[in-house]
Chain A
């Protein structure tokens, strides 16, 4: 079974991030870091997501996955924080603890987070080896 919870690209949760997000970086490094706001939630009604490891006890954590370690972009290309201001002090490549044991569905309950992305490799090309992943989620009715 899959979960109705996921990442969205807008506060209204109208645009799931299922197709990913694209960040453009000039090869001379002039683009600099690009900050992207994401929302984690569900448009279903009456649902909640918890960490499958220990539902209701463990916090929900988002980590940076690299499908091709050693090649492409490194996880250090991404910083995560709950606020845009928090990106300044976030550790590159570090997972983000949402600080909650559960997230309720609904627009108003979505958790906003920020990703700061800056290519670690400036060779021209398109790199798709990085992604954000939640811990395994356990979804149930509220």
Chain B
């Protein structure tokens, strides 16, 4: 709590003395701001100290209403909750020798909050496979009385192994299916750790957090996959397994068997002989060819600037005898609009002729054409394990996928041209990169998974510490191997008083002993098509040609080059005549042109003026055709090769 930014009871908190002398006049003011935190109690006791003053002490309270009305500042604070978060820590101190020697044990099972340990009979088993649900079975004899068997389904269950005074959690889950033996009066509970339902309740974000290093693409998996299905998809990109611990905690464990947490010898193994199962060659994969195609819209644009100017008005009107005949705006506009399919004007500048309304002397702007070219990007990638290839040759699998990205072309062709917006991002680069990354990780998963199908299985006296999250070493009967546990099954025979653990180690090996290299599985850079075409701007000229009256009926009539772009006009004179007055030396040809030295046809009217009119006038703009390279379907390609390593676990046999 503070006042005016200073601590309460701080020495600096004093009202300012407002004026006067000796406190006789003036006003002491002390604006107060009380900062109250939400958990504070707001109290502001005030003590007014009036200094010594001759006469009587007085304190005037002045209330000044600055304006009518009321200022309000609503403050809403919603307190959701208060409390402490905590987590208990249970430390089991145990005798490690208890798990390697036969000794008394018991089993504690709590179902639905009720300890039913004393009613157990027969076998209690807990089976855990990496990447799968942990399952448990136990049988018990319900207490006499009426029970509602349907109420058993879904009841929470914990199974603890009790030895040497310590509880060891073997299983945490629920009852999946009660199996009743009415004759024997027992019920066998088939239980699951419920990982599917737990993951079904998790969001994609939560599952992503549980599976770091994994990837997922909607173009490779079912876009509707959520929960457990989504987790299974991501698991295909990992070299590890996600399952629940004996206490029900999700954990992702790597397949790498880097550190063995226990070594088993022949003395530990019950039948002294581990069982070895080798992976089948037909199940091996050491090379994956990946073909990924992404069909995308390639947004194309061609922009061509143009500029036409008639030139100096005065010069054209009065020099070279040429008439001034400028195009009408509509003529120019029609020409620009009629260039060809797809071309439209952008940023048109028009210089009108003030003295000749409707006609223009200059135009400029940009012709823009937008279209969409179909493009299929092809990514050809291979992921291979060189070590395995050197041992087994090429064992190739193929995987292909494609992506098709739909796009409303009108947004680019029509709307985009109008507003000339920045090229929209229609290339789903992130989606493609994610899909490629997912494919690469899946290939590595496939190759490595196929190389860890060797299994070494053995049984030992029950050790509750054994779990599929750990790696173990075995050195017995000529078998020396280290691998991550692929499965662990605990079996407690309560009637016989025996407890065993069966372990199956997954051994990753290709038999290669040399050094290996591994590339980063970074997707290749996207292949690109040619850049947008660059077209030559049109050369817009002005050709206004006057046809001399003498040649109207002649063989060769001057005319503009109609093939040229720009403004072209052919002007024909309209003759005004009068009764000829001429000098005696004058003569005229049949067209009324003065000549000399010949017979004079006096019926011919003498031309007194010519008014010019356009016999033909065109404003023309033409642009070069866009090459088919930029229009037809295009297929840029890129290829990339990746090498991965195969973890070589210890695995030797001595005969």
Question: Residues on A close to B: CB < 8 A?
Answer: 1-7, 9-15, 17-28, 30, 38, 40, 43, 47, 52, 54-55, 65, 73, 77-78, 106-108, 115, 117, 119, 121-128, 130-141
Contact = CB atoms under 8 A, between A and B. Distances in A.
B86 A126 contact: no
Contacts of A25: 91-94
Interface stretch (B199-207, B361-369, B480-488): B199-207
Contacts of A141: 78, 80
A140 B94 contact: no
A12 B207 contact: yes
A29 to B, nearest CB: 10
Contacts of B37: 54-55
A83 to B, nearest CB: 15
Contacts of B248: 15
For chain A, what secondary structure do more than half of its interface residues adopt (helix, strand, loop), or is it mixed?
A: mixed
B164 A10 contact: no
B552 interface: no
A12 to B, nearest CB: 4
Interface in B76-106: 77-96
Contacts of A30: 96
B38 interface: yes
B91 A136 contact: no
Contacts of A136: 82-84
A23 B89 CA distance: 7
Q: Is the interface of B mostly helix, strand, loop or mixed?
A: mixed
Contacts of B83: 1-3, 136-137, 139
Nearest to B231: A12
Interface residues of B, number: 47
Q: Which of A10, A13, A78 has the most CB of B within 10 A?
A: A10
28 contacts: A6-B85, A10-B210, A11-B212, A12-B250, A13-B206, A14-B210, A20-B88, A24-B166, A24-B465, A25-B94, A27-B96, A40-B85, A43-B206, A52-B39, A55-B39, A107-B205, A126-B91, A126-B93, A127-B92, A133-B86, A134-B85, A136-B83, A136-B84, A138-B38, A138-B39, A138-B82, A139-B80, A140-B79
B616 to A, nearest CB: 73
Contacts of B164: 124
Contacts of A22: 90-92, 169, 247
B49 interface: no
B94 A124 contact: yes
Contacts of B205: 12, 106-108
B85 A7 contact: yes
A52 B86 CA distance: 15
B87 A132 contact: yes
Interface pairs A-B: 5 shortest CB-CB: A20-B88, A12-B206, A11-B209, A17-B87, A1-B81
B38 A133 contact: no
B551 interface: no
Contact of B93 (A127, A138, A140): A127
A130 B91 contact: yes
Contact of A27 (B79, B88, B95): B95
